[in-house]
Amino acid sequence: MEIAVVVLAAAIVVGAGIVAWAVTRGRRVGSDESERRVRELVATQQTLAGQLSALTEQQAVSSAQTNKAMKESSEQLTRSMNERLEHVQRTMGESLQKSSKETAESVAKLTERLTVIDKAQENIMKLSTDVVGLQHILDDKQARGAFGEIQLEGIVEDALPAAAYELQSVLSNGRRADCLIKLPNPPGSVVVDAKFPLTSYQHMIDAEDDVGRAAAKRRLGDDVKKHIKDIAERYILPGETADSALMFLPSEAVYAELHANHPAIIEASHKARVYIVSPTTMMATLTTVRAVLRDVEMRKQAGVIQKEVGTLLTDVGRLADRVGKLRTHFDQASRDIEQIEISAGKVQSRGTRINELDLGEKEPDVLAGPPEPPPLP
């Protein structure tokens, strides 16, 4: 609309210029023709001016409508933007509040887990210290023997009844056995020794080269063989113990090393009848011992049961005799009752005949018939 007004204004200006030019030219050409053209131009100019005025008014109305529509659109857009902004702020507030709550919970859980981790780390450090202390303790031969005795005691207490073993039992040769498993003859009581060679094994593990490892391995074999010999000489006593003994190794690693890489030691132990056991195999051995003890106890109880059954059979025979005697008494009583019934029948018959005698003391009633016999007792 504004473009049309501008174009129309330009046309009026051009028309005014043309009128001025026509007036100037009409003065040169002729007055009549000039006047006619001037009048036409003036009429055209007036028409254009009217159109310009109408366009101006129309432009003013359109501008007002446009301004009103733009104002309404602006207000609606402002309201919509405010509503959306409020919704966004509310949503963001809720999201931030929820995120803050979740973050706080996550931080609390993380703090708890870190606390647990700290405690676990403290326990690990304490355990490491204890392991190092245990390693130093096991370096001592006496302390190592005490450690093996304690572990052996726990295994034996879990597997056998108290009457089936004896700890620190003194034998007839004055030697003190770590554990004596009491079994009936044969095979007899079995001695378990809980001392074990660990120094050579530790040197073999800590060796930095093959030469040192081989030397420690040879020392380990020599130490174990010597220990096997000592057990056979001290704890296998004919007539007092079984012809075999057990060497308890509280370390599964040493047991595995001997069976995996020292077959000569295992063969020597078998020849000396000193069998090497670990905590796992010791438990299996004690399970077998418990089964043997249970079988022996069942045999003892079987003898008691047989004795009681014999006594019971004697009592049953005596009861049968007494029942026979009682039956004899019953038979005699039955015969006596029959004799009593016979005597009672005879007495009744005699009484009936006496009652039927005619002694002449009263006249008999012919119509009444014979008197009725007295009732049987």
Domain ranges for the chain: 1-35, 141-299
What's the whole-number mean pLDDT along residues 332-350?
86
**Percent helix, percent strand, percent coil in the chain, to nearest 5:** 75, 5, 15
What's the whole-number mean pLDDT along residues 259-269?
87
Is residue 238 over pLDDT 80?
yes
Q: What CATH number does domain 141-299 carry, 3.10.450, 1.10.3470, 3.30.70, 3.40.1350?
A: 3.40.1350
Res 368: pLDDT: 46
State the average pLDDT for the chain. 77
Residue type, 64: A
Res 377: pLDDT: 44
Beta bridge partners of 169: 177
For tokens 């090393």, name the residue. Answer: 257
C-alpha closest to that of 195 among 244, 256, 233, 247: 247
Res 67: pLDDT: 81
Res 142: pLDDT: 53
Res 322: pLDDT: 85
For tokens 């796992």, name the residue. Answer: 280
State phi, psi for 59 to the nearest 5 degrees: -65, -40
pLDDT tens-place string over residues 69-101: 888 888 888 888 888 888 888 888 888 888 878
pLDDT tens-place string over residues 123-166: 787 776 555 444 444 455 555 556 677 888 888 888 888 888 88
C-alpha closest to that of 220 among 275, 277, 265, 271: 265
Provide the H-helix boundaries in 262-368. 263-271, 279-355
Burial class (CB in 10 A: 0-12, 13-18, 19+), 24: exposed
Q: Strand 190-193 to strand 176-181: parallel, antiparallel, or no bridges (unpaired)?
A: antiparallel
